Amino acid sequence: MQKDLQNLDEVKKEQKDEIHVGSEVFVPFLSEEKIQKRIIELGAQISEEYKDKLPIIIGILNGSFIFMADLVKNIPINCEIDFFKLSSYGESKISSGKVKMLKELNADIKDRHVIIVEDIVDSGLSIKYIEELIGESEPASMKVVTLLLKPESLKYDVKIDYIGFEIPNKFVLGYGLDYAQKYRNLRSIYVLKD
């Protein structure tokens, strides 16, 4: 029977040592503490660089929703928030190689300072697509922040301005990142065991 989790310590203790998805096993990779510490650093850097501007921070849904929330809580300067929704992975661990726009921006970004927030840059296709799309609206500037980057799997020429962690070319889940739409709610990041 599921026990009642009444406080944060109890919720944290319930986090798993291993996650089994069919015959695949995922093990802890980046702890909650490590992620939060890095986000504080990224937030400080972004706040310093944009302190005289009013940036519009644009999250790419779904994967970036948790990172985006934690990041903006560490950016105390005035800013605006919006979201794009893209889909590229479908239901599998392999990118389909195609990007689909599922929700467009509400904000007018002409002459605005845009900061794009991604959970992970893998081949770079999604970011390339977004950069080109946003570029058409003639923003004053555009920078990209990603929590994770897999340098070995980059196939497109993209400029990433702020990187949380560079990671090996292995599938990860948790903290916004899904496997067939599940596990986004985990507080930390797990990696597929070899």
Q: Which is nearer to ligand IMP, 15 or 123 (CB)?
A: 123
Residue from 43, 59, 124, 164 touching ligand IMP (CB under 6 A): that is 124
Q: What are the residues whose beta carbons fall under 8 Å from the beta carbon of 107, sequence distance 6 or more?
A: 56, 80, 82
Structure tokens that stand for 193 in this block: 């065991």
Q: Output the smallest distance, CB 168 to ligand IMP, in A.
A: 10
Residue from 172, 186, 188, 189 touching ligand IMP (CB under 6 A): that is 172
Residue from 63, 83, 116, 188 touching ligand IMP (CB under 6 A): that is 63
Residue from 43, 55, 59, 63 touching Mg ion (CB under 5 A): that is 63
The closest alpha carbon to 162, from 30, 61, 67, belongs to: 67
Query: Which of ligand IMP, Mg ion, none has residue 165 at its interface (CB below 5 to 8 Å by kind)?
Result: none
> Radius of gyration (Cα) for the chain, nearest Å?
17
Q: Quick check: 124 binds Mg ion (CB under 5 A)?
A: no
Strand partners, 124: none
CA 65 to CA 57: how far, in whole Å? 12
Residue from 39, 57, 177, 186 touching ligand IMP (CB under 6 A): that is 177
The closest alpha carbon to 10, from 22, 18, 2, 19, belongs to: 2
Look up 178 and say whether it is catalytic: no
Element (H, E) at 73: helix 65-73
Q: Which is nearer to ligand IMP, 56 or 86 (CB)?
A: 86
Q: Quick check: 89 binds ligand IMP (CB under 6 A)?
A: yes
> Read out DSSP for 118-169?
EEEESSSHHHHHHHHHHHHT--SEEEEEEEEE-GGG--S----SEEEEE--S
Kindly name the residue from 9, 122, 157, 161 that is annotated as catalytic: 122
Q: Quick check: 65 binds ligand IMP (CB under 6 A)?
A: no
Catalytic (active-site) positions: 122
Residues that bind ligand IMP (CB under 6 A): 63, 88-89, 95, 118-126, 171-173, 177
